[in-house]
Structure 1
Amino acid sequence: MPARPDPSRRDWMRSGLGLLAAGAFGGPAAAMLPAAATLLVPGPAGGPLARIAHPLGEALARGASTAVRLNEMVLGGPDGVTAANRFATEGAPDGRTLLLLPGAAALARLVGDPRARYDAAGSLPVCAVQGTAVVVGRTGFAGAGASPRLGFAAPDMAGAAALLGLDLLGLHASPVIGLAGLAPEAALAQGLAEAVLLTGPDLPARLAAAGAQPWFTLEPAGARDPLLPAVPSVHDYALDGPLALRAALTAAAACARLQAALVLPALTPANLVAAWRSAAQRWVEDETRQGLAPGLRPLAGADAAPLVAALSPPPGATLAYREWLMKRLNWRPD
């Protein structure tokens, strides 16, 4: 057999240009989703997150450019800590494992819950459901110097973010803790509290039923909740306090607003992220057209990215929040 001639410089250049062309034209859109993937869903089966997961999975399958079977695995309770921990230990950046992450799981990590091993930093959102988070009172907002009684379930729950916001506004709010078994608007109606944090679906009806007056939302600075466009964000006021504590408020507020985010592991290749986001666009369109419950809105992956990124503040802000919980509420995780 005659010897094969050594490749010339021109041959190498042709080969290199071919590879460059393949890279240029075979970018994110060229990625193929796996034939099967696992969606980790916080329990219980039939619970609020499972009810989001089922239509989401169906829409992803319809929106994918190739056939995809999404297997739902329901784990743990509604705070999402068990499902998030499984995702942290078993989720590889290969596009085959996704997590439906609730804000409560990120909040557990923020407050230092020893069960919470999953860090949302670097997680890549495919899509999300954001809700309204608004502090309301029995009467209008009195401003600095007032001392309202703020009711919420527990120091490690979303209501503590409202207390921190009031502190940074210069209000001397008195916490009323232990309302876990009572709807916040019921606490207002029964006179147990003068202000509460309302989150979740059906807020227009709940606000009307309670006769409550919105004070401020937990939206980012300069943003307005579409449901309450006339209500300012807490960040629109002049906040007084250390920068780290104000950053902690931003993180706790994001946890309160996030109902659920569909995320991929950090370091998942960009082309796979783009392919999953493209598939999720069908779900975003379906929910925009049909409508989630009032107060909830779907977010595409790029729109959800700032919200998911805000769940993981710098270490100094995390420490500041935990110290504030200890000094203000005499609380620390078990």
Structure 2
Amino acid sequence: MNKLLKSALGAGTVLGLMVAGVTSAAAVDFSGKTIEWTIPFSETGGSAKWANFFAPMLSENLPGKPNVVVKFMPGAGSTKGANWFQDEKHTDGTVMFGSSGSTQFPYLLGDPRVRYEYADWNPVMASGTGGVAYLNAEAGAKFDGTANNLKGMTFVYGNQGATRLDLIPALAWKMLGMKVEHVMGVKGRGDGRKMFEAGEATIDYQTSSSYLKSSAMLVKEGKAVAMMTWGAIDANGNIVRDPTFPDMPTFKEVCDATDGCETSGPAWDAWKSFFIAGFPSQKIAFLPAGTPQDVIDAYTTAFAKIKARSDFAEISAKRLGKYPMFIGAEASKALQGAITVSPSAKTYVTDWLQAEFGVSLN
């Protein structure tokens, strides 16, 4: 099956082929095999929770019910693992990779450490997510829905890297006029949360899955105060409230209410552009270059079965949040959205990274 036909297969088509019994995936058999799903972050973050959520269901639905093991390869803000995956040429379907926004952003920005090419990889599933920013109790007591009372304070944040997904909170806090000192080089957002829990950081953000599992309890116990979500994108491209956290204000709402923060103009356009690239299609499962079409079809079919489970929406919402899951042609389309930003947004962000962090990408 050529790439054009591959991109035309959506989840509904795959399920139809399953019923008809004519899908090429029927010939694939993973009996007795172990599939290694590599995540380029530490085992404490949202990507780990995402992969660990899907792994047992994937094992159950792939032909032959193989053992699916999630492995972690943190380093260089995820570019270490992505560069490794680029060189993988396994054709038997036993190697997978999980990309995240922190893998996509260096690619978008032309980070010199990037030696991977998304066009070479085969996306089999993608899912969106959101994010929640929160403050320590002291700062949270001053938060009134705006950042006005926070501008005289100095915050500390555990940052994975200037060109990683952490540029979303970093730019947001800059636009709000907040002073945030960045401790660079944490291996995953879970490690940033641990810094917050230890009192070494005073502001943090987590993707939805990690927030639901760990950070929400900090808020419940009064050790943290939720500040805002990044929001979600509606059908018209507008920032709206995150469906997982409908009672929390979005960054746009907090910005609108904060003196000096603008939700129009170059800074806002750049932030929104990278937010769209980083969150609505943030996590993507890939098979390596050279994977045969029948193996790709087997994975697409397996993920379609997972999505079709009667309880999937409920269990996914509890573990990952209320976000869409994309399969087949939808996954390929989601990937394009995740690796596309406007030239003006890229220019603004690269100039800001140079001024804010001394990072030169030119």
Number of the residue aligned with 2:145: 141
Q: Hey, what's the Cα distance between the residues in 1 that align with 2:174 and 2:78?
A: 29
Number of the residue aligned with 1:217: 230
Which of 101, 104, 109 aligns to 1:103? It is 101
- TM-score w.r.t. length of structure 2: 0.62
Q: Give the superposition deviation at 1:174.
A: 1.6
Q: Hey, what's the Cα distance between the residues in 2 that align with 1:323 and 1:113?
A: 13
Q: Give the superposition deviation at 1:177.
A: 1.3
CA shift in 2, pair 1:62/1:192, >3 Å = closer
Q: Hey, what's the Cα distance between the residues in 1 that align with 2:181 and 2:197?
A: 11
1:284-299 superposed matches below 5 A: 284=307, 285=309, 288-290=313-315, 294=319, 296=321, 299=324
Q: Give the superposition deviation at 1:41.
A: 0.7
Matched, 1:301 2:301: no
Q: Give the superposition deviation at 1:46.
A: 6.8
Q: Hey, what's the Cα distance between the residues in 1 that align with 2:70 and 2:320?
A: 27
Residue type of the alignment partner of 1:115: R
**SS class of match (1:301):** strand
Number of the residue aligned with 2:39: 42
Q: Give the superposition deviation at 1:326.
A: 0.7
Number of the residue aligned with 2:263: 239
CA shift in 2, pair 1:315/1:84, >3 Å = farther
Q: Hey, what's the Cα distance between the residues in 1 that align with 2:201 and 2:325?
A: 39
Kept in 2, the 8 Å contact 1:85–1:116? The answer is yes
What are structure 2's unaligned runs of at least 5 residues?
Answer: 1-12, 257-261
Which of 163, 171, 179 aligns to 2:170? It is 163
CA shift in 2, pair 1:132/1:206, >3 Å = farther
- TM-score w.r.t. length of structure 1: 0.66
Q: Give the superposition deviation at 1:312.
A: 1.3
User: More displaced, 106-115 or 46-55?
Assistant: 46-55
Percent of aligned positions that are identical: 16
User: More displaced, 309-318 or 323-332?
Assistant: 309-318
Kept in 2, the 8 Å contact 1:216–1:231? The answer is yes
Kept in 2, the 8 Å contact 1:127–1:299? The answer is no
Q: Give the superposition deviation at 1:133.
A: 0.7
Q: Give the superposition deviation at 1:229.
A: 0.6
Calculate the aligned-residue CA RMSD, in Å.
Answer: 4.6
Residue type of the alignment partner of 1:239: T
Q: Hey, what's the Cα distance between the residues in 2 that align with 1:45 and 1:233?
A: 28
Q: Give the superposition deviation at 1:328.
A: 2.4
What are structure 1's unaligned runs of at least 5 residues?
Answer: 1-26
1:46-65 superposed matches below 5 A: 53=51, 56-64=54-62
Kept in 1, the 8 Å contact 2:128–2:283? The answer is yes
CA shift in 2, pair 1:150/1:106, >3 Å = farther
Q: Give the superposition deviation at 1:205.
A: 1.5
Q: Give the superposition deviation at 1:176.
A: 1.4
Q: Hey, what's the Cα distance between the residues in 1 that align with 2:266 and 2:323?
A: 33
Number of the residue aligned with 2:83: 85
